[in-house]
């Protein structure tokens, strides 16, 4: 959920990352290319718009959004021996 707007949510499915600004009435695809399954985690800082996502594939890819899911940047470059693990909390 957006830190200041309860109507804005970002979610992920095995089809990609989606965003709603009307509390789930409509959803817009924000990232679907090569995302077979995605886990997302928000930054723990208060009122942060930064989100992180990773694919759960044999060769994981890591993405970052600095605008609460409107755009995503691949940040995997330079990493080796990749393993993706996300936890709640």
d(CA 72, CA 34): 13
Residues of the chain with pLDDT under 50: 36, 86-89
- In this prediction, residue 74 carries a pLDDT of 87
Instruction: Give the start-end residues of each E strand in 1-89.
Output: 9-13, 16-20, 28-31, 38-42, 51-55, 62-65, 73-74
> Residue 62's pLDDT is what?
83
pTM for the model: 0.72
pLDDT of residue 88: 46
> Of 4, 36, 2, whose CA–CA distance to 17 is shortest?
36
């Amino acid at each position: 959920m957006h830190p200041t707007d309860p109507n804005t949510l970002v979610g992920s499915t095995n089809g990609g990352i989606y965003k709603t600004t009307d509390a789930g009435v409509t959803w817009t695809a924000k990232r679907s290319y090569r995302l077979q399954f995605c886990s997302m985690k928000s930054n723990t800082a208060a009122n942060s718009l930064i989100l992180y996502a990773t694919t759960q594939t044999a060769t994981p890819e890591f993405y970052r959004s600095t605008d609460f899911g409107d755009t995503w940047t691949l940040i995997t470059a330079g990493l080796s021996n990749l393993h993706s693990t996300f936890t709640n909390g």
